[in-house]
Amino acid sequence: MSAAKEHLTKLIQSQPDDSSEVDIVRELAFDVMVRRGLADADANRTISNEEMGRRIRSWQS
């Protein structure tokens, strides 16, 4: 089994027995987003809060 499949299988199995499909999918999506964010941070693909604030303000114009 691939590492990704093993990771996701463990994540699903760690969910409470009464979890709905929506709960499980939401947890899987959250896990993927966190891992992507951490990989981006490790690779210095981030911006400062100040830069993000400037970008958001530019969208509001």
Locate the domains of the chain by residue range: 3-59
E strand map for the chain: none
pLDDT of residue 1: 86
Looking at residue 61, its pLDDT comes to: 79
- pLDDT tens digits along 2-15: 999 999 999 999 99
Q: What is the pLDDT of residues 23-34, one digit of tens each?
A: 999 999 999 999
Closest CA relative to residue 12, chosen from 26, 23, 1, 24 = 24
Look at residue 44 in the predicted model and tell me its pLDDT: 96
Model confidence, pTM: 0.75
For the stretch 34-53, pLDDT in tens is 999 999 999 999 999 999 99
Rounded distance, CA 38 to CA 45, Å?
Answer: 10
